[in-house]
């Protein structure tokens, strides 16, 4: 059933149980999704506006920007010395000059502009500028938008749980204006919606499990649907049992908190596709590993991020609905935590899935594929054009590509894969397609059931994908975002901790869908 506002309130009220410490945390977190930055196209600027000038190859500066010959000489000497960014403080305003390396390939050139925007951002906030104007003299399409994108993404902060100096530490930048012959008002608006969606994904992933359990995650999707005007249906445990989602129910057995299964639907009247594109996001809100317990240090301690796939698909639904894109998209999120308590499922168990297939569980820490399998089977009812799942699924994927890309594999047509890779490269959320040979199926054969939930010491990311494939009968792609979704060190405009990786790539693909 669909959550009404009153039902959403009930969900939140039901969270106020347990220790007094938890009550305090929840009250501190009353206001959600407060981070926002305005991006708009402008046709002019004032003498007081902070200006960021994107220089063309000829390094021409419009008249009236520089106030003296000394400033002109300083800029020329810095550029001659090979400086890519130059700062001039005119006291009443600040000037920044950025010259991209036009010898780079297009996608690398765009990424250098994103990084340039993030680099200059630190000075903008240091000088407490609330607004900047990007003046585009580059003569190259998409550079100004990319520069604004990097600056906006880098401006993200998660300060919700600080009780002191929150205002003092808050970044000053609130608005980015873009003056460019290549940028229309709609372009700026779409970028703003994309940034807002990434922020929402980051917020959800950064939230601790003391606030964000499966019920709360579903409630947050209800709020997103209400704001962006897409339909959200939340299935409770009784409905999940009726549907016989054995994988989701098995993982949930160790938890006192009930599971949820959320269905989000965006179907505009002018949709290009009659059959929906279905997104599936792994919603493990906290992963202890279950009885196959994870070590704490550098492992379990950041497992609040194990629902990053769910955040990606929910935030993407928000973005495309706010943009009013003409695409029919459904998102599915199975959600639970994975704990060793209660009557937790155990290594050696055999679980009957929603599809009727049986799975021998050899590792309870391979839980993501268990809940995704039920969601992928559920997706068959829609007769989808394409299904894409997003999950922090395997350490093997993270080890293979690190935080620099997304591991993918699947059965979609090559032209679809090419379009996906094109979008990933364009926004610099690059895709690394792994082989998907039939021989990998042999590694998940079980002696006592239809399959087992791990494949052994080799090709872990691929055998996880092969497991999921058995629950599909449609064109499908699997995206393992374990590497880039949660960053342990600052990484340019992606920041530290939750990165929101996957949202920009997915929005770009759906925006350019033919």
Q: What is the CATH number of the domain that holds 483?
A: 3.40.630.10
Question: What pLDDT, on a 0 to 100 scale, did the predictor assign at position 15?
Answer: 36
User: Is there a contact between 114 and 491 (Cβ–Cβ < 8 Å)?
Assistant: no
Q: Which of 200, 202, 237, 369 is the catalytic position?
A: 369
Q: In this structure, are 143 and 198 located in the same domain?
A: no
Model confidence pLDDT, tens digit, residues 56-74: 999 999 999 999 999 999 9
Model confidence pLDDT, tens digit, residues 470-493: 999 999 999 999 999 999 999 999
Domain membership flag for residue 25: no
Range of the structural domain that residue 144 is part of: 38-183
Distances (CA, A) of 374 to 167, 245, 282, 284, 338: 44, 6, 11, 14, 16
Task: Choose one of 130, 153, 183: the last residue of a domain.
Answer: 183
pLDDT band for 55, please (50, 70, 90 cuts): very high
Domain membership flag for residue 29: no
Model confidence pLDDT, tens digit, residues 352-364: 999 999 999 999 9
User: Is there a contact between 510 and 277 (Cβ–Cβ < 8 Å)?
Assistant: yes
CB environment 160-179: b (16+ within 10 A), e (fewer): beeeeeeeeeebebeebbbb
Domain membership flag for residue 205: yes
User: Is there a contact between 143 and 54 (Cβ–Cβ < 8 Å)?
Assistant: yes
Q: Which of 22, 236, 294, 421 is the catalytic position?
A: 294
Of all residues in the chain, what percent carry a pLDDT higher than 70?
93
Instruction: Please determine, for residue 8, whether its predicted confidence score (pLDDT) is greater than 90.
Output: no
Q: In this structure, are 495 and 370 located in the same domain?
A: yes
pLDDT band for 501, please (50, 70, 90 cuts): very high
Task: Choose one of 139, 155, 183: the last residue of a domain.
Answer: 183
Residue 294 known to be catalytic: yes
Domain membership flag for residue 114: yes
Domain membership flag for residue 2: no
Task: Choose one of 183, 208, 235: the last residue of a domain.
Answer: 183
Distances (CA, A) of 359 to 187, 240, 422: 48, 18, 36
Model confidence pLDDT, tens digit, residues 400-453: 999 999 999 999 999 999 999 999 999 999 999 999 999 999 999 999 999 999
Residue 93 known to be catalytic: no
Structural domains of the chain, count = 2
């Amino acid at each position: 059933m669909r959550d009404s506002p009153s039902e959403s309130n009930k969900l939140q009220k039901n969270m106020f149980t347990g220790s007094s410490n938890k009550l305090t945390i929840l009250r501190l977190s009353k206001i959600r999704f407060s981070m926002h930055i305005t991006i708009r196209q402008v046709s002019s600027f004032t003498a007081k506006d902070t200006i960021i000038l994107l220089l063309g190859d000829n390094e021409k500066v419009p008249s009236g920007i520089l106030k003296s010959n000394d400033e002109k000489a300083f800029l020329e000497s810095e550029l001659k010395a090979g400086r890519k960014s130059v700062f001039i403080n005119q006291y009443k305003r600040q000037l920044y000059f950025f010259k991209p390396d036009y010898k780079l390939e297009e996608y690398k050139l765009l990424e250098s502009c994103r990084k340039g925007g993030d680099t200059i951002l630190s000075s903008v906030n240091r000088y407490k500028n609330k607004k900047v104007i990007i003046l585009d003299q580059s003569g190259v399409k998409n550079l100004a938008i990319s520069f604004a994108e990097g600056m906006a993404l880098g401006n993200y902060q998660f300060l919700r749980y600080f009780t002191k100096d929150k205002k003092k530490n808050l970044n000053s930048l609130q608005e980015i204006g873009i003056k460019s012959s290549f940028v229309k008002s709609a372009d700026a608006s779409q970028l703003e919606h994309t940034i807002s969606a990434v922020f929402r994904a980051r917020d959800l992933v950064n939230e601790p499990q003391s606030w964000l359990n499966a019920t709360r995650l579903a409630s947050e999707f209800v709020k997103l649907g209400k704001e962006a005007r897409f339909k959200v249906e939340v299935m409770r445990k009784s409905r999940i049992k009726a549907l016989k989602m054995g994988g989701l129910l098995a993982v949930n057995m160790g938890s006192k908190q009930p599971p949820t299964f959320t269905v989000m639907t965006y179907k505009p009247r002018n949709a290009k596709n009659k059959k929906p594109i279905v997104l599936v996001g792994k919603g493990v809100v906290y992963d202890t590993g279950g009885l196959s317990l994870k070590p704490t240090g550098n492992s379990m301690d950041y497992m609040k991020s194990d629902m990053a796939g769910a955040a990606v698909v929910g935030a993407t639904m928000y973005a495309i609905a706010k943009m009013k894109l003409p695409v029919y998209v459904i998102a599915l999120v199975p959600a639970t935590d994975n704990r060793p308590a209660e009557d937790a499922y155990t290594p050696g168990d055999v679980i009957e899935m929603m599809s009727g297939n049986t799975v021998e569980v050899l590792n309870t820490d391979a839980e993501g594929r268990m809940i995704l399998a039920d969601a992928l089977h559920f997706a068959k009812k829609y007769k989808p054009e394409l299904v894409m799942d997003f999950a922090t699924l395997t350490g093997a994927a993270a080890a293979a590509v690190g935080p620099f890309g997304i591991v993918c594999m699947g059965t979609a047509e090559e032209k679809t894969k090419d379009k996906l890779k094109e979008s990933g490269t364009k926004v610099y959320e690059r895709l690394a397609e792994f082989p998907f040979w039939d021989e990998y199926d042999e590694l998940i054969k079980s002696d006592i059931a239809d399959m087992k939930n791990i494949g052994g010491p080799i090709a872990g990311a691929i055998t996880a994908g092969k497991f999921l494939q058995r629950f599909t009968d449609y064109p499908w792609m699997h995206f393992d975002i374990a590497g880039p979704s949660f960053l342990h060190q600052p990484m340019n405009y992606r920041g530290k901790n939750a990165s929101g990786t996957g949202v920009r790539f997915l929005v770009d693909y759906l925006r350019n869908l033919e």
